[in-house]
Structure 1
Amino acid sequence: MEYVKAAEVLPEWLLREIQQYIQGEFVYIPTLPSRRRKWGESSGAAQYYQERNEEIRRIFRTGASVDELSGKYGLSVDSIKKIIYSKK
């Protein structure tokens, strides 16, 4: 995250208004909910895990055991069960 000088981006009237509440401190202004990205959208992690989990379900349906999948993917038996039995 990069810091931006308020005086460079805010109108003077708004800067004066904010200064009545806080001066010389850092303020985080969150993104509007409509502009937020979901976890993993930017990095591609969400897509990776979705595809991996679909593959795990497909392999399980073809007869692989939970223990086999656990070893193959380096996940706990409980994690494999959660993936297999989730409603996604």
Structure 2
Amino acid sequence: MSYKNGKDFLPANLLKQLQDYIQGEIIYIPKKEQKRAGWGENNGTRLVIEQRNHEIYQHYKNGLTMRELICAYHLSEDSIRKIIGKTRELVRQTAL
């Protein structure tokens, strides 16, 4: 978000109306209603984590122990278990 001076881009009549309500203050004008991007969708973080989770699941299926996965990915046992469970379910759903 950047600062813009209203006199540089607002029509004079609108600027005058706004000055009746607020003068010399910074105001936030929200974007028009639209579907917001989900967490990590714009910068690719979501995709990176999905790929990591799939990799963890594949390693688990190939025989890596819980302890090995914890050490390799620096995650808690609870996190690894959740990732395996959720990814297993996603794989099942896509196989149907």
Give the distance between the partners of 1:79 and 1:6, measured in 2 at CA: 49
State the AA in 2 paired with 1:45: T
Q: Is 2:54 aligned against 1:54?
A: yes
Q: Deviations over 1:5-46 (max 9, x none)?
A: 222233333333333332222222233342633322332212
Structure 1 pair 24–44 and aligned structure 2 pair: CA distance change class (3 A): same
Count of matched residue pairs: 88
Which one has the largest radius of gyration?
2
- CA-CA distance at 1:47 after TM superposition: 1.4
Q: Is 2:9 aligned against 1:17?
A: no
Structure 1 pair 65–85 and aligned structure 2 pair: CA distance change class (3 A): same
Q: Deviations over 1:44-84 (max 9, x none)?
A: 21211111111112222222222221110111111112211
Structure 1 pair 60–38 and aligned structure 2 pair: CA distance change class (3 A): same
Unaligned runs of 5+ in 2: 91-96
Give the distance between the partners of 2:33 and 2:84, measured in 1 at CA: 31
Give the distance between the partners of 1:66 and 1:32, measured in 2 at CA: 47
**Kindly, what percent of the aligned residue pairs are identical?**
41
Structure 1 pair 53–2 and aligned structure 2 pair: CA distance change class (3 A): same
Aligned to 1:45: 45
RMSD, aligned α-carbons: 2.3
TM-score (norm 1): 0.73
TM-score (norm 2): 0.69
Unaligned runs of 5+ in 1: none
